[in-house]
Amino acid sequence: MILLANSLVTPAVGTLFWSAFIFILFFLLLTKFAWKPILSAVKARDEVIKSSLESAAKAREDMLKIQSDNESILRKAREERENILKEARDVRDKLISEAKGKATEEAEKLIEKARVGIENEKLKALSEIHEQVATLSVDIASKLLGEQLKPSGEQSKLIDNYLKEIDFKKN
Amino acid sequence: MKTRILFGFLFFLLINGSTISLFGQEVKGAGETTEKFDANTFILDHVADSHEWHILTKPNGENIALYLPVIVYTKNKGFYVFSSKKLAYGKVYKGFKIEEEGDLKGTIVIVNEEGVADEKNLPLDLSLTKTVVAMISAAIIGLLLFLSLARSYKKTGISHPKGMQSFLEPVILFIRDDIAIPNLGHKFEKYMPYLLTVFFFILINNLMGLIPTPPPFGAIVTGNIAITFILAICTFIVIQFSGNKMYWKHVFATPGVPFWLLPIMIPVEIIGLFTKPFALMIRLFANMVAGHFVSLSLISLIFIFGSLVLAPVSVLFVIFMDCLEVLVAFLQAYIFTLLSALFIGMAIQEEH
């Protein structure tokens, strides 16, 4: 065990010198020519990955925002359309009802006018018929009587009386 | 792999009909009385640092080893650089010798003309030992790996990771996201190079130590206290240099402590500054050495009992231990890095 203590646990001067020299040289060379380029390459890559991830997340966010925007725009458009349609329907209904009212009114007016016209025409026709009938009656009577009755006041009065007795409504 | 090679080696022993020494002991021919196997020496020789990289010992006693350069300095004679082959088998070269027994076993000593070692006056030994060579190899492997990784990053730019990147990048990101950021907050970038270097330095060395052979694999670099000491010192320096006002206030005027307690508290806090890296040093060293100790002890069992019947059991246990050691290799690198980050984080935290 004394042997062990001596040969193993006592650092030899030469080994100390060489290991310090080798280790420090190893450290300096590696630091300058290996670790710096390696670490900076790894770091650069990490940064690229990080920034790409960030921009991807941002793009996704933007897309979501655009999507929700689209939706709201769509919804608004739909509402607008509904409104426009409703308005149009209202206008149409209003126009229709107005037109209907006007048409009815016009029609009624026309009908009224026609009725008045008809009434007038009727009256005119009736009076014409009266006249005609009177003339015909006089003609017939004169023929029958063989004499030319003069359309004097007495005769006309007589004819009128006859005619009054005739009920038009029977025809 | 370690076990497989050893298993094959055991059959080689049987066929040969002679006992050969893996362990630097004297070799006995067939029929001679075999020396008693000393597990302690066997294990320590494997774990300890050495001037040559022993691969195996041939039946005739020759070592197949990689002889590493010896660099020694003495005040009188100056620098000497020569192959450790000149010192192999206890030879003396230019007044130097590797001590083979005793407290100084494995160290280079100066011998005088009479062949007596001067144990008081040791030369400065800056040899490229097994541990140092293994560490240099690990550093080269690490540099090649990460420099080519950096180059591939220049090519791919910010596109997804390809090839080696997909293999190493998760580890780098793990250190960044699970070690640096939770402990260091927004200042983590400044400390990332240090944490990454420490982590991969320890990891590569740990894993290389698990592969038994050939060189540069198999040396227990992180099981050498000098290396863990240097790593801990580096963490210590980083902590002290990044410590802010809050940190020093906690050391020298701990808030909420009555002033008459300060004479006790200040030394305790100062000791606390050193215990943290000290714990780092011991933890890494002890864990890595312990794993190899267990594996080698299990292998030693075969030789202690001198029976092949035991070999399958030993081998199974060693396989199990090696799997565990792979886990420990990662775990210890992680723990060292995590604790370094934690201590630095404690030194730079803002007032709350």
Mean pLDDT of A40-62: 91
Average pLDDT of every residue of chain B: 81
Are residues A23 and B196, on separate chains, in Cβ contact within 8 Å?
A: no
Mean pLDDT of B330-334: 93
Are residues B289 and A13, on separate chains, in Cβ contact within 8 Å?
A: no
Q: Which residues of B are less than 8 Å from A2 in CB distance?
A: 103
Better pLDDT: A35 or B20: A35
Q: Using pLDDT thresholds of 50, 70 and 90, give the confidence band for residue B28.
A: very low
Q: Which residues of B are less than 8 Å from A46 in CB distance?
A: none
Better pLDDT: A125 or B100: A125
Give the model confidence (pLDDT) of A13-31 as tens digits: 888 899 899 999 999 999 9
Give the model confidence (pLDDT) of B225-282 as tens digits: 899 999 999 999 999 998 888 888 888 877 788 888 888 888 888 898 899 999 999 9
Q: Which residues of B are less than 8 Å from A38 in CB distance?
A: 146, 149-150, 153, 172
Mean pLDDT of B30-42: 63
Give the model confidence (pLDDT) of B222-233 as tens digits: 888 899 999 999
Q: Which two tokens stand for residue B28?
A: 């006995």
Interface residue A5 vs chain B (CB under 8 A)? no
Q: Using pLDDT thresholds of 50, 70 and 90, give the confidence band for residue A65.
A: very high
Give me the pLDDT at residue B17, please. 35
Nearest Cα of chain A lies from the Cα of B153 at a distance, in angstroms, of 6
Give me the pLDDT at residue A84, please. 93
Interior angle at CA A95, CA A94 and CA A99, nearest 5 = 120
Are residues A35 and B146, on separate chains, in Cβ contact within 8 Å?
A: yes
Mean pLDDT of A141-145: 73
> Does residue A102 surpass a pLDDT of 60?
yes
Give me the pLDDT at residue A106, please. 87
Best-predicted range by mean pLDDT (A39-43, B23-27, B121-125) = A39-43
Interior angle at CA A152, CA A150 and CA A154, nearest 5 = 120
Nearest residue of B to residue A32 by CA position? Answer: B193
Structural contact between residues B109 and B117, judged by C-beta atoms closer than 8 angstroms:
yes
Structural contact between residues A32 and B150, judged by C-beta atoms closer than 8 angstroms:
no
Interface residue A2 vs chain B (CB under 8 A)? yes
Domain boundaries, chain B: 2-65, 69-125, 130-348
Query: What is the distance in angstroms between the CA of the first residue and the CA of the last residue of chain A?
Result: 162
Give me the pLDDT at residue A5, please. 53
- Tokens 């021919």 locate to B29
Give me the pLDDT at residue A168, please. 60
Q: Which residues of A are less than 8 Å from B146 in CB distance?
A: 30, 33-35, 38
Mean pLDDT of B136-143: 92
Closest Cβ–Cβ partner in A24, A31, A41 for B153: A41
Closest Cβ–Cβ partner in B139, B157, B224 for A15: B224
Are residues A26 and B197, on separate chains, in Cβ contact within 8 Å?
A: yes
Q: Which residues of A are less than 8 Å from B163 in CB distance?
A: none
Chains A & B: contacts with CB separation below 8 Å: 136
Percent of chain B with pLDDT over 70: 89
Give me the pLDDT at residue B264, please. 85
Are residues B229 and A11, on separate chains, in Cβ contact within 8 Å?
A: yes
Nearest residue of A to residue B191 by CA position? Answer: A31
> Does residue B21 surpass a pLDDT of 80?
no
Mutation to test the B interface, candidates A10, A17, A18, most B Cβ within 10 Å: A18
Are residues B48 and A30, on separate chains, in Cβ contact within 8 Å?
A: no
Give me the pLDDT at residue B263, please. 84
> Does residue B18 surpass a pLDDT of 70?
no
Mutation to test the B interface, candidates A6, A13, A19, most B Cβ within 10 Å: A19
- Tokens 């650069």 locate to A44
Percent of chain B with pLDDT over 90: 27
Give me the pLDDT at residue A147, please. 57
> Does residue B154 surpass a pLDDT of 70?
yes
Nearest Cα of chain B lies from the Cα of A44 at a distance, in angstroms, of 7
Q: Which residues of B are less than 8 Å from A18 in CB distance?
A: 126, 128, 132, 135-136
Give me the pLDDT at residue B27, please. 39
**What distance lies between CA B206 and its chain's CA centroid?**
7
